[in-house]
Structure 1
């Protein structure tokens, strides 16, 4: 029997349209990143072939702009918004006199199920299952003070991942000796190359069964990735930053926080651009040079520095977006993305379905063949169509189809789907 004051789905009138638009903006960048790195097969190509694709001047420029402006920045922003969304749901539940824990646990459980199905049946790069797992850890911080939350951000984002990387790098040397550790690292790298090659061959097959079997196999192999614990800590750190921003109502009351947002814009883009420039220079200088099987100390430090850069740049993007959204012209332009943000889950899953058809051998077979510039143009075209479809869909329905399934399973009953005919203002929103 449901609790009389139990939390329910967010009504259209309760939504923060800046956050919807910002989520749509982040979703576009995430789609570009996924397409360039994984859907297109670029991450699976032999080093020489990938470098040959990026050799022309146009591709070199596009690749540099991608690394500088897009790579990992929007994934960071998307994770930040997940934590901020948790904060909003928690505050709304408390306002209704309800506990968020039971509903949120069910919500995360359903998201985990959707994510695992997506990972093994459609596309290996699923992030939903990871967000669901880390979301359970986020519950532990719901009653911690703002100071404690902010203290844990650098610990989870920098200290713990760096300690894990150092332990993984030097632990085998201490236990088995330098020579045995080097041989083991070399063997693991060769195994990774073989797994990626087999995955690319599977995706290139003209059989749907073969392609998806290769996807499921690669997904299973990825669960044992030694870098996964550090990655989970980094995501939790992003969630916590979003949790803090939600508590401060940073993006709900922009006018009150305008001065702080301007500082975040300056520091975020300033530090983010500086680190991105350093990383780009290092990449260009080392282009054509194979990375060692075992990362050196400076490489471990560079990885951590890059993550910090992604965080600062993503924060700068969020601040800039919020400030632009306060202007009438900016709101009109950026608000176009709000429908996409409202049904981000549906569009994210749709992107996977469309992309495996575009790139896999049983579809149009573009995997491994398109240069980065064409991949980005193709992805932007697909996303533009999605924005139009989202607007049309939400003119009639309250949720996207995947969001409706998610909410219905969470609350144990079918949620009302169609917009009430007597609410034209809500439909227009």
Structure 2
């Protein structure tokens, strides 16, 4: 079995992956250059505060759910191709997750603590327990698995925040922020390694692993259900349903995302912002972009640079971490905490633009990104074709004109 051809790809999924790569860097950039784990809006002022608020509302908590959704969507596409070829999907997918886990471990403990690949890989193995279920069953499971525990927890945090507003208020942890600045800005490689592990454990260790599973796996299930139900494949048949999803998720999602800015930064408001506002806004982005892409040719031309960016999403994601940690950490240029939100956000947008140009240039000669190629080899257990033939290049040019 060989990799999927350009004509067989679902282009809008690559587009959504490309948009997610931009959104992920907008959020991750804060952590690359500042002690993001310990700060709140009160850390910034002036233009930096406005920029932080925009990124917080429009990006924070929305693009990792989108990536998880696309992860599940892609798993079903892979399943359909493997079954068609008579290949064991569980064996193939297990090898795929094993490689993803390995990359995630290296990324998390050698490069940057904010890795999400480990969580995706661990959740990915649970796909093998449910991939034969119908699309409707997967969707019901996704909704119940997410809304029941998070609904109960959200109600408790909101109630506690109303009853004990002072105790539940959330502000910047200045002591930990100063420690992060000292370690990443001027610490040794050993100091950075130890602190990176400490931060990874703070987010992923203990009971947090349960909450990570309950936040990621339902999004994966939702992506699987959309793929099986054909909601992003046959848009014309599901346009009304997608419009309804877009309208509801956009209104409620934006409302929840701005909730802390008019009710105060408490445990309850921040929980609702990230746990419900984030995924709902992700759904709004996906359905809105899909509907617009299907309807307007001008939008397809405008968003074309995101498609190669999305086709090389793994390479681009890892490159972002490697490049920016070198720029900001002490073992590189040591510019940690030397720039503000506005400059950091501008740099993130410019960097993604460069990645889009490079991805388009790279895919003129190669079928996939370098990391994607190694992942394919590990998945299929055999060497894959990498360079485009002259005929494939000509077909690619014709495909882009369609």
- Aligned residue for 2:385, secondary structure, equals coil
| Deviation at residue 411 of structure 1 after TM alignment | 1.7
Other-structure match for 1:390:
359
Q: Tell me if the contact between 2:29 and 2:348 (Cα under 8 Å) persists in the aligned partners.
A: yes
In 2 relative to 1, CA 385–145 (structure 1 residues): closer, same or farther, beyond 3 Å? same
Is 1:364 the counterpart of 2:333? The answer is yes
Other-structure match for 1:40:
33
Could you tell me which runs of 5 or more consecutive residues in structure 1 were left unpaired when the two chains were aligned: 1-6, 169-184
Is 1:271 the counterpart of 2:252? The answer is yes
Bigger drift between 311-320 and 340-349 goes to 311-320
Q: Tell me if the contact between 1:268 and 1:316 (Cα under 8 Å) persists in the aligned partners.
A: yes
Q: Tell me if the contact between 2:204 and 2:212 (Cα under 8 Å) persists in the aligned partners.
A: no
CA distances 1:186-211 after superposition (whole Å, capped 9, x unpaired): xxx9xx98766544422112644543
Other-structure match for 1:413:
382
| Deviation at residue 335 of structure 1 after TM alignment | 1.6
| Deviation at residue 220 of structure 1 after TM alignment | 4.6
Structure 1 length as normaliser, TM-score?
0.82
Q: Tell me if the contact between 1:164 and 1:230 (Cα under 8 Å) persists in the aligned partners.
A: no
1:318 to 282, 286, 293: 286
Aligned residues: 387
Other-structure match for 1:224:
205
In 2 relative to 1, CA 193–372 (structure 1 residues): closer, same or farther, beyond 3 Å? closer
Provide the C-alpha distance between the structure 1 equivalents of 2:255 and 2:150, rounded to a whole number of angstroms. 22
Q: Tell me if the contact between 2:135 and 2:229 (Cα under 8 Å) persists in the aligned partners.
A: no
| Deviation at residue 256 of structure 1 after TM alignment | 2.0
Provide the C-alpha distance between the structure 2 equivalents of 1:240 and 1:152, rounded to a whole number of angstroms. 7
Could you tell me which runs of 5 or more consecutive residues in structure 2 were left unpaired when the two chains were aligned: 158-167
Structure 2 length as normaliser, TM-score?
0.87
Provide the C-alpha distance between the structure 2 equivalents of 1:416 and 1:156, rounded to a whole number of angstroms. 40
Q: Tell me if the contact between 1:204 and 1:361 (Cα under 8 Å) persists in the aligned partners.
A: yes
| Deviation at residue 281 of structure 1 after TM alignment | 1.4
1:249 to 201, 206, 230: 230
Give the root-mean-square deviation of aligned CA atoms.
2.8
Q: Tell me if the contact between 1:41 and 1:367 (Cα under 8 Å) persists in the aligned partners.
A: yes
In 2 relative to 1, CA 164–230 (structure 1 residues): closer, same or farther, beyond 3 Å? farther
1:259 to 240, 243, 248: 240
Q: Tell me if the contact between 1:199 and 1:218 (Cα under 8 Å) persists in the aligned partners.
A: no
Provide the C-alpha distance between the structure 2 equivalents of 1:146 and 1:24, rounded to a whole number of angstroms. 25
Provide the C-alpha distance between the structure 1 equivalents of 2:322 and 2:289, rounded to a whole number of angstroms. 29
| Deviation at residue 264 of structure 1 after TM alignment | 1.5
| Deviation at residue 227 of structure 1 after TM alignment | 2.4
Bigger drift between 353-362 and 94-103 goes to 94-103
| Deviation at residue 338 of structure 1 after TM alignment | 0.4
Within 5 Å, which residues of 2 pair with 1:330-345?
330-345=299-314
Is 1:12 the counterpart of 2:6? The answer is yes
2:216 to 194, 214, 235: 235
Is 1:31 the counterpart of 2:36? The answer is no
Other-structure match for 1:111:
100
1:160 to 140, 144, 149: 149
Provide the C-alpha distance between the structure 2 equivalents of 1:362 and 1:222, rounded to a whole number of angstroms. 24
Provide the C-alpha distance between the structure 1 equivalents of 2:16 and 2:364, rounded to a whole number of angstroms. 20
| Deviation at residue 427 of structure 1 after TM alignment | 4.0
| Deviation at residue 164 of structure 1 after TM alignment | 7.1
In 2 relative to 1, CA 265–213 (structure 1 residues): closer, same or farther, beyond 3 Å? same
Provide the C-alpha distance between the structure 1 equivalents of 2:310 and 2:246, rounded to a whole number of angstroms. 22
1:280 to 256, 261, 272: 261
Other-structure match for 2:163:
none
| Deviation at residue 72 of structure 1 after TM alignment | 1.1
Q: Tell me if the contact between 2:328 and 2:334 (Cα under 8 Å) persists in the aligned partners.
A: yes
Q: Tell me if the contact between 1:44 and 1:197 (Cα under 8 Å) persists in the aligned partners.
A: no
